[in-house]
A and B are shown apart, each in its own frame.
Chain A
Amino acid sequence: MKNTLFLFGVFLRESIRNKVLWFFALAGALMILAALVLGEMVVGRPGKAIWDLGLSSINLLSLAIIVTFGVSMASSELEGRMMQLLLVKPLSRRQYLAAIYMTLMSLVLIASLSMALISWALLGFSTMALVILAVALIWNLLEMSVMGAVVLFCATLSAPQLAMFLGLCFYIIGHSLSEALRLVTVSGTALTRGVFAVLYFILPNLSLFNKKSLLASGLTLPDLWSLLWAGLYAVCCVLIWAWLAQWLFGKKEL
């Protein structure tokens, strides 16, 4: 654990020094600020555009960080032949992956908090907004925890570019699974229905974590039970995909 934490600290320092992170942060901030323009043309509750863009930017920025940093951290050490040096130390491959995962989650947390802070400022620092943003952050972290494990799996599976592509594909598919299953249930054949039913349980269903519309509408908050179930689902997904990543990583010839 000590080794993992040490490595985590190193990875985190390196990542924060990385200019790409700041570029992402700037893009996210600009996206939220664009709400000031879009807000003039959107019908709905006051500040709806800020809510929508704020929550979306939190989610998209987190995704960008997970995909780029997850893949680069897992692959750069390999390609730069640093991995061999690291693994000579008393450090297992599992600890190495765990350190990357912890770094990813920390980066996501920092970026999400920053975006949430900007959104909160634009929403006038209201208490209600703070509560909703906090809930949104929790749901976003759950989603990204799953995505982190999936991206680690992709990074250990293939080359960096393909891993990024696969990671994005998982994100898109994960958000379309419920809709796809619904469509196939209505109009598909028995075979496609069966295939989609299997896929539905194999692939991580990220749309289950998508509460942005509900939170942005301000009508109600997701109840605690749904949060607990989502937490359980996320933990299961993380365990499965992280185990797969570790298994693949263990098989890899360095």
Chain B
Amino acid sequence: MGAIKRVCLVVLVLSLLYFSAQKLEKYQNADGRMLGGVPRFRTDVLPFLSLGQPALLSDLLMARALSYYGANRFSKDKTVFDGLFELFSQAFILDPDNSDLVLFGANTLLGFDISAAISLLELGMRYRPDYWKYPEMTGFIYYYHQKDSFMAARYYERASHLPGHPPFVPSISSKLYEESGFFDQAIGVLKNLAHGSRSDNVRQGFEERIQSIEERIRLKRFRVPTIMQSVISGTRVGLKMNRFNPYPELAASLLLDLSWQTPKVDEGERAIMCSVWRQRLGGEVLMQLNTDQGGQFIMIDDAFQGILLGDGGENLSEKLIRSVRQRPILRSGSPWQEYDGQVVQVCGFFQEVRADGEDLVLIWREADLPHGRITNADQGVFAIENWSGWLENSRQSAQSISALLTFSLQNQAFLHLLHPAQIKSCADTWPPKQKK
């Protein structure tokens, strides 16, 4: 009987060995690669592999990741670090109480993959939603590395709602909102700060800042309708006509209906009917202004291309301002005011473009202007057929979508969907400071 039991035991162990090996093969990543001698397992099986010692396994994974990073730190081939994010994230999932791990991992990843660093911090926020350092560091990365003040402000604001945050966090949040032109949010943060502060002096300081922002909004309300006369006037050579070249970099360009000429500010939301043709992306030229005749493309000259392609549009405003510095800048009471003889009028910025069912809602930067609305945007006449999905995806990759409205010579209105980096500096420098 004992011999039979022993044989059964051996058979059982061998079967389990084979079975577990098969399972492990399956759970290893499809590419079957190892990182620094550590097999890569699916994250959801790690708790089983830890055998009740998740913190210890986390330490071992971390130690392996760090020694591997140290050994390959000066490698020119950055692909050797593929999977380092996975190791850090798995080590953190095993031991979510080790909050420093995410901060250290994000700092390590920053050297070669900023988006991975942000993803690691997002993971940290999912597991530790009450820890202020994760959104604070994410905000810093967005500001310093991504040059995206708006997203930075959002994360700093998130950190400011969490316990234990230092006083500078909400202050930075409001500053960044202000810097990126989102004054309402900046005021909101400051009002929260003022409401929560116990000291009268501190509260007064916040209220003064709120007042100064409101003053800026008031000034902008009168000045933002600035029409930059002849931004490109007199430089018609800079505009090339091209029927076929698609434009590559901007997300999309919409041709608004001709009936929408010099619209008046009406009460309520304005419906704007659109007719747009499908466009292809790719090619060499940056900005595309659609004309009303047969799908022509107006291509911006090389200088503009350099601005927008070269540095993501950071110097767009500088270029625009430089081009008009020697010329009078006309201001008027309405962002839609027309001026004859201009090739392009840059009429205003939309703070955000949102999808509302099949409609697109265009939100002006100026709070009291009614929202624009493009009806039936999903009906296939646009390059983008699913606006909700597209905006959502674009927000994930490019954080947020703003828009620039221009008029062509023929009073044709164009809406250019822009990433914040391309529009931020424009907004900041409008109106241009007067020389003393």
The answer to whether A binds B is yes
B55 in contact with A52 (CB, 8 Å): yes
With A44-B101, A159-B2, A161-B6 as contacts: A38 and B63 at CB distance below 8 Å? yes
Whether A48 and B98, one on each chain, are in contact in the complex, defined by CB atoms closer than 8 angstroms, is: yes
Of A4-12, A193-201, A208-216, the one contacting chain B is A208-216
Say yes or no: is A45 at the interface (Cβ < 8 Å to chain B). Answer: yes
- Interface membership of A171, Cβ < 8 A: yes
Chain A residue nearest to B51 (CB atoms) is: A172
The answer for the CA separation of A105 and B25 in the assembled complex, in Å, is 39
A92 adjacent to chain B (CB < 8 Å)? no
Interface 1/0 per residue, B375-392 and A, CB below 8 Å: 000000000000000000
User: Cβ of B37 < 8 Å from any Cβ of A?
Assistant: no
Q: CA A219 – CA B97 in complex, angstroms?
A: 8
- Kindly state the separation between the CA atoms of A232 and B66 in the bound complex, as whole angstroms: 42
For residue B284, give the distance in angstroms from its CB to the closest CB of chain A: 46
Residues of chain B lying within 8 A (CB to CB) of residue A137: none
Contact assessment for A59 and B101 in the assembled complex, using a CB-CB cutoff below 8 Å: no
A88 → B minimal CB distance (Å): 25
Q: Are B47 and A45 in touch, CB under 8 angstroms?
A: no
Say yes or no: is B48 at the interface (Cβ < 8 Å to chain A): yes
Closest to B48 in A: A176
Docked Cα-Cα span, A175 to B9, in Å, equals: 23
Interface residues on A, range: 35 or more
Interface pair B53/A42, CB less than 8 Å apart = no
Q: Which residues of A contact B100 (CB under 8 A)?
A: 43-45
B309-344 interface with A by 8 A CB criterion: none
Closest-by-CB residue of B relative to A176 is B48
- The answer to whether A179 and B63 have CB atoms under 8 Å apart is no
How many chain B residues sit at the interface, stated as a range, is 20 to 34
Q: Are A59 and B53 in contact (CB under 8 A)?
A: yes
Check B104–A43 contact: CB distance below 8 A.
Answer: yes
A183 touches B98 (CB 8 A): no
* Residues of B with C-beta under 8 A to A60: 53
In the bound complex, how far is the Cα of B5 from the Cα of A108, in angstroms?
A: 30
Mark each residue of chain A from 152 to 183: 1 if its CB lies under 8 Å from any CB of chain B, else 0: 00000011011001000001101110011001
Say whether A179 contacts B53, CB under 8 Å. Answer: no
Select from chain B the residue with minimum beta-carbon distance to A158: B5
Which of A38, A161, A171 is within 8 Å of B59, CB to CB?
A38
CA distance in complex: A52, B58 (Å): 9
Binary flags per residue of A201-234, CB closer than 8 Å to B gives 1, else 0: 0000011001011101101000000000000000
Nearest CB in chain B to that of A171: its residue: B52
CB pair A41–B97 under 8 Å, yes or no, is no
A44 in complex: contacting residue of B5, B6, B98, CB < 8 Å: B98
Contact of A179 among B2, B13, B47, B62 (CB under 8 A): B47
B51 touches A175 (CB 8 A): yes
The listed residue (A45, A56, A180) touching B53 by CB distance below 8 A is A56
Contact flags A127-160 to B (C-beta < 8 A → 1, else 0):
0000000000000000000000000000000110
- On whether the beta carbons of B55 and A56 are closer than 8 Å, the reply is yes
Nearest-CB residue, chain A, relative to B56: A56
Tell me the complex Cα distance, A60–B55, Å.
13
Q: Are B62 and A42 in contact (CB under 8 A)?
A: yes
Q: A38-B60, A159-B2, A159-B9 known; 13 other A-B pairs, CB under 8 Å?
A: A38-B63, A43-B104, A45-B100, A49-B59, A52-B59, A56-B53, A60-B53, A165-B9, A172-B52, A179-B48, A207-B52, A213-B95, A217-B98
